Structure 1
Amino acid sequence: MQRKTTFIVGAGASAEFKFPTGRKLVSEIEQICDLRTDDFGRPISGDGLLWRAFEILPQSDGKRWNPNGLARVATKVRQNMGLAPSIDNFLDSRRGQEGWSEVGKLAIARSILDAERSSELWFDFRHTNDGPSFARFPENWLTELFRILVTRKDKEDFCIALASCRFITFNYDRVIEQFFHQSIKSYFDLSDMEVDELCRTHLSVVHVYGGLGEVSCHKSRYFGRNDDAQYLVEAASKIKTFTEGVHDSEQIALAKDWIRDCKTLIFLGFSFLPLNIRILGPNKGDRYSKGRVLGTSFGMSADNLQIARNILRHEWYGGADYDLEFHEVGAGELIWRHSMFLSEADLRN
């Protein structure tokens, strides 16, 4: 696999690793934010880690927040999640109001860290250094892609193949980074230091809206670390709402370069929200050159898919009339269906 390929990854791709999406994520945030106090302001219910995070969360001026005040905000978040399209949309509606962004990001980080901890990619580094057991993994797109990248390749050829892939993710989780660090370590029997250096050189990932922080073999304890209030605060601080993400010009510019430069563009588990498509669109007066475009459209209506096609065709590709190949399958099946195409560098589009 030497043809430059850019993957645009949405929540549906992480769902193959049992990460919550849609209403399930909203339900989890509702539970996390169910914080209640007695008549004296003492916590009597809710997520204990979130309470502790409120107690140590610093404000921009270095002062501490009032934990009870943040708990009241959390209650409002819980009460309105059923009405909001997403937690990001709700936080954006309260933009500029004190405490809302902080509470929302802590709740998001708490939910994702729990999901990381529950996924097959997590392992207890205190008891083993062998990493996760890939033998019990469910079928998923990263395993399918890894099989392509290692077919008939030694470590050096694998590195070339990996470097031909770029990953633009709208997810806060670290599934991509954790998978490649641990799978490379296991498959090639490398040390933590060797894997970290290999991934630092050849693995390219951009988180459009930020992530929870770096993971590596050396820092494997951070993936799914859901028992440390200080780490929760640090992880939440790296999350951006969609409004904030637009202003991260360096990461967005890099993502656009990867789209412009690729021969194959693949959307995986992506919901094609117009806002997210336009964030990655070409700069004014520019357009992306024609390449092969593949994508999953599992669960999408014909109307929504047509809107996505129109935006891509006219705003990304200048009205170029060519096929945008969307398939109503999951991310893993799409990679499997196109495995020979992805593995052969000499094919012409």
Structure 2
Amino acid sequence: MTKRTVFILGAGASMPYGFPSGHKLVGDIVGVLKSKKSHFSSWGFLEKEIDNFRDAVVNSVTDAIDDLLIQRKEEFLEIGKLAIAHALTYYEIEHKLYDRNNPENWYGYLFEHLKGMSSMDLEGGTNSIITFNYDRSLEHYLSMASEGFYGLTDNVKKRAIQNIPIIHIHGSLGLLPIHSGHFPYEPTSDTEVIFGMSRNLKLIDEEADVSLLAKAHSLLQKAERIRFLGFGYHYTNLKKLEFTLNTKQCSDIKGTAYGLSEPDMDKIRTNYKINLDTNGKNILRFFREWDPL
């Protein structure tokens, strides 16, 4: 029986497929507020409101747009969610997921691992994913890869892979058509579609889907193995997961540490008992060279 595993994803998990870091996303948001001002006007924002938000983003010198929106939610939450959706949709480019020359394609590594599992383990919920990202790149990849490998006919393993639980703690750009949603995985400038995508984002605690948080907590409580991938280990995110409380029973917790300083790693090890990859490998190398699935 395969260990019950929970993967916890941060922004670094999507970056090998062209998605931006938090710092880059902030710059993209400034860009769309300037170049697509007419879109924001069509959503009912006055030019002064658009300019005020853009100035706040620039002057706040933040690398995490969520932090600014939480701090000034009364002023900027709604326009901020629209700006995030607008900026991110341009990155949902399907062919970037299937680039065979991508040296960091850990989605492919994960899919090969899932293919090798028994139907019983796959259907038994052995693998689950908690993500703090808004994009749908991983679920789209797994859905399309399993469709391509197993074909269009019904197949137990195909269905199990396509239905692996992926919990978006802060919401996502919307359900994909393959999951009965209305938001295709493709760039769009359609203001109605972008508006709909923005409604799915849940940045502040008041908007949080309590049932999703409860499910994430339950998955952590049952986990025998936890892997942090491309994660920044921010206190607020770990607090949302009630990580220390919900992982008391799990002794196998590891994570990537790309870009983290030694003092930061020491603090994470001490506070959360996470075994970090001190060599700072990317996710694919983390699995291949240090912690094979």
**Normalising by the residue count of structure 1, what TM-score does the alignment of the two structures yield?**
0.74
Shift, 1:181, TM fit: 0.5
Asked if the contact 1:9–1:169 (Cα under 8 Å) also holds between the matched residues in 2, the reply is yes
2:51 paired with 1:68 = no
Residue in 2 that maps onto 1:331: 283
Q: 2:266 aligns with which of 306, 311, 316?
A: 306
For residues 27 and 157 of structure 1, what CA distance do their matches in structure 2 show?
Answer: 45
Residue 78 to residue 312, structure 1, CA distance change in 2 (3 Å): closer
Asked if the contact 2:5–2:128 (Cα under 8 Å) also holds between the matched residues in 1, the reply is yes
Residue in 1 that maps onto 2:62: 84
For residues 222 and 302 of structure 1, what CA distance do their matches in structure 2 show?
Answer: 41
1:205-244 matches, within 5 Å, as 205-217=166-178, 222-244=184-206
Residue in 1 that maps onto 2:73: 95
Asked if the contact 1:54–1:70 (Cα under 8 Å) also holds between the matched residues in 2, the reply is no
Asked if the contact 1:266–1:294 (Cα under 8 Å) also holds between the matched residues in 2, the reply is yes
Shift, 1:258, TM fit: 0.8
Asked if the contact 1:267–1:296 (Cα under 8 Å) also holds between the matched residues in 2, the reply is yes
Shift, 1:250, TM fit: 1.4
Asked if the contact 1:145–1:335 (Cα under 8 Å) also holds between the matched residues in 2, the reply is no
For residues 296 and 158 of structure 1, what CA distance do their matches in structure 2 show?
Answer: 25
Residue in 2 that maps onto 1:290: 250
- Give the SS at the match of 2:227: strand
2:218 paired with 1:266 = no
Asked if the contact 1:196–1:216 (Cα under 8 Å) also holds between the matched residues in 2, the reply is no
For residues 291 and 149 of structure 2, what CA distance do their matches in structure 1 show?
Answer: 20
Asked if the contact 1:9–1:267 (Cα under 8 Å) also holds between the matched residues in 2, the reply is yes
Q: Which has the higher helix share?
A: 2
Which is higher, the Rg of structure 1 or of structure 2?
1
Residue 66 to residue 15, structure 1, CA distance change in 2 (3 Å): closer
Instruction: Give ranges in structure 2 of 5+ residues lacking alignment.
Output: none
1:245-260 matches, within 5 Å, as 247-260=208-221
Identity fraction in percent: 24
**Which deviates the most, 247-256 or 261-270?**
247-256
Residue in 1 that maps onto 2:164: 203
Instruction: Give ranges in structure 1 of 5+ residues lacking alignment.
Output: 35-45, 58-64, 122-132, 314-322, 343-349
Residue in 2 that maps onto 1:164: 126
Residue 158 to residue 181, structure 1, CA distance change in 2 (3 Å): farther
Partner amino acid for 1:95? K
Q: What are the superposed Cα offsets for residues 17-75 of structure 1, whole Å, 9 maximum, x if unpaired?
A: 111103222211121122xxxxxxxxxxx22xx523541x3xxxxxxx34434423343
